[in-house]
Structure 1
Amino acid sequence: MTAADALKVAFSPCPNDTFVFHAWTHGLVVPGPAAPEVTFADIDITNGMAERGELDLLKISFAALPWVLDEYTLLPCGGALGRGCGPLVLTGPGSSTDPAELAGKTVAVPSERSTAYLLFRLWAAEAVPGGLGEIVVMPFHEIMPAVRDGKVDAGLVIHEARFTYQQYGLHSLADMGEAWEAATGLPIPLGAIIARRSLGQERLRELAAALRASVEHAWAHPEDSRDYVLAHAQEMDPAVADQHIALYVNEFSADLGEDGYAAVHGLLDRAAAAGLLPAVPPGALAFR
């Protein structure tokens, strides 16, 4: 296979993704497909790439699936689901602890096509009967400073912000994961791995096996990926990176399983019933 023929993949530089993909991208999955050509991009960027049909395999938000399933299939491994790992709604010091007080307020979010935002909208429909005010999209790293400095009333944050928001003097008004788990009993579906259907079933099965093997190698040999993870972690404290990996790389990363698929169907079906997403046809999530 020439460089021009290499599989083109995209995932974020977050520790969970680099941890999961390291073994495959570094030729440590043997036998397995050749190491791919990697593009690093935040998930709001990869969502757009998938909608435009770019690249062969991508990490995207589960909330973006309805727009890409004609061209891509959901792989049964490599993604991010879990418990106790949901997005948080943060507010500044002295703010009300009553979610209803968000009515009419300005909220910063990292993306309008993300699973975090979808979970937030489902929660707000119940918890903020007066309706939210302006939604402001801004880069993830700018949200907590904006809440701290009073530029917005609240912020929706994900990933490592669970471990660092107190450093900004902020408090958690609500945990979208807790709300989801209380309502459904299911894990929280966050990030999905998708691959182009035109690759064919044999190639898709090979890719799924490679991803699963990459996850298992990462668990068995965490020291192998250490430098790679930290090099892309945007100056994240190593201890926070370890917490990040422990929270988001779990049994569902190796295999979605019955609970994982139930969580994805539950999210998409609830969102479609609320008019927030197009409905997903029966069988569209199946991996054959």
Structure 2
Amino acid sequence: MDTNAIAAPLSIAYSPCPNDTFVFDAWAHGRVPDAAPPEVTFADIDLTNGMAERGELDVLKVSYAVLPWVLEEYALLPCGGALGRGCGPLVLTREAGEPTALTGKRVAVPSERSTAYLLFRLWAAAEVPGEVGEIVVLPFHEIMPAVRDGAVDAGLVIHEARFIYQEYGLHSLADMGEHWEATTGLPIPLGAIVAKRSLGARALRALADTISASVRMAWQDPSVSKPYVLEHAQEMDPAVAEQHIALYVNEFTAGLGADGYAAVRGLLGRAADEGLVPPLAPEALAFP
């Protein structure tokens, strides 16, 4: 790695969720040789999306859905993010039912610029007659309690919620990932890593090398990252944290590859066709 490629330190924000702390543990704790030290901020996805739109930090974990608004200032890195199969957001309700039950209902979502919400809008356009009612933005860990307690009629959940929603007495009305995969055949693009273009092409390549190395080191000995993961996992059961990591940290985290880029282009292209996001220029996703 080019030790002079990045001026230290770098400001970075990612969530306290197990997949992010697992991926970034080695870098955050200085175990990646020659890597610029990061100044880490933990923030929910709604906050990091807003940070990216305001250009506040050097490196951010954001929703793929926010890319059309930030790619002029930020470059998409080809590693470190979350894509996969069988890992899509779920729509949860207190009672079992059909998608038609959401017409005119109040739904909590983790961010209006989240990939989860974009997938939800594409699904709802096809499956929910009429329109969904009020959309309420809540931190993802507050959504299931809000549905359980009747503060909202339904909730769009991400992350480990797919493993524990039954503990809240809730039912899965629909799986956004199943709908996406059935209609496209592509993996589900969820969270992206972006970095400021002003760092320069050489620095961006060095940064991608750092993150790739951090991922590989986490895989080589998962026990090393465990204290960091559990420290920030909001009292999550260690077994659930392991399931979370196994689902969201995969081959697409190591490198987007052809299928990963096709998924991102497919999601944002389809959403642009529906008028949900601005269209992307053909070169917008290219890595320097």
TM-score (structure 1 length as normaliser): 0.96
Cα shift at 1:110: 1.4
Q: How many residues align?
A: 283
Alignment of 1:1-288 (within 5 A): 5-30=8-33, 32-93=34-95, 95=96, 97-288=97-288
SS of the residue corresponding to residue 52 of structure 2 reads: helix
Could you tell me whether the CA contact under 8 Å between 2:46 and 2:139 is conserved in 1? no
Matched residue SS, 2:240 = helix
- The runs of 5 or more residues in structure 1 that have no matched partner are none
* SS of aligned partner of 1:9: strand
Shift in Å at residue 8 of structure 1? 0.8
Distance 2:74 2:139 in 1: 27
Match of 2:263, SS state, is: helix
Q: Deviations over 1:215-267 (max 9, x none)?
A: 00000011111101100111111111000000000000000000000000000
Please, what is the CA RMSD of the aligned residues? 1.2
Q: For residue 26 of structure 1, report the CA deviation from its aligned partner.
A: 1.2
- Once the two structures are superposed, residues 121-169 of structure 1 have per-residue CA deviations (whole angstroms, 9 ceiling, x without a partner) of 0000000021111111122222112211222111100001000000011
Q: 2-side partners of 1:106 and 1:190: how far apart?
A: 23
- SS in structure 1 at match of 2:156: strand
How far apart, CA to CA, are the structure 1 residues paired with 2:11 and 2:104?
43
Q: Could you tell me whether the CA contact under 8 Å between 2:8 and 2:37 is conserved in 1?
A: no
**2:212 is matched by which residue type in structure 1?**
R
State the one-letter code of the partner of 2:12: V
For residues 187-242 of structure 1, give each alpha carbon's deviation from its aligned partner in whole angstroms, at most 9, with x where no partner exists: 00000000110111111100001111110000001111110110011111111100
Measure how far apart 1:34 and its partner are: 2.2
| Distance in 1 (alpha carbons) for counterparts of 2:241 and 2:29 | 20
SS in 1 for 2:130: coil
Once structures 1 and 2 are overlaid, which stretch shifts more, 134-143 or 209-218?
A: 134-143
- The alignment-based identity, stated in percent, is 75
SS of the aligned residue for 2:267 comes to helix
Deviation at 1:10, TM superposition (A): 0.8
Give me the whole-angstrom Cα distance separating, in 1, the residues matched to 2:148 and 2:27.
40
Q: Find the aligned partners of 1:142 and 1:195 in 2 and give their Cα distance.
A: 29
- The answer for unaligned runs of 5 or more in structure 2 is none
Q: Deviations over 1:52-79 (max 9, x none)?
A: 1111111000000011111100000000
What residue identity is the alignment partner of 2:147? V
- Contact 2:44/2:139 (CA < 8 Å) preserved in 1? no
Amino acid of the structure 2 residue aligned with 1:191? G
Task: Give the TM-score normalised by structure 2.
Answer: 0.96
The separation in 2 between residues aligned to 1:53 and 1:138, in whole angstroms, is: 23
Write out the 4+ residue segments of structure 1 that deviate beyond 3 Å after TM superposition.
none
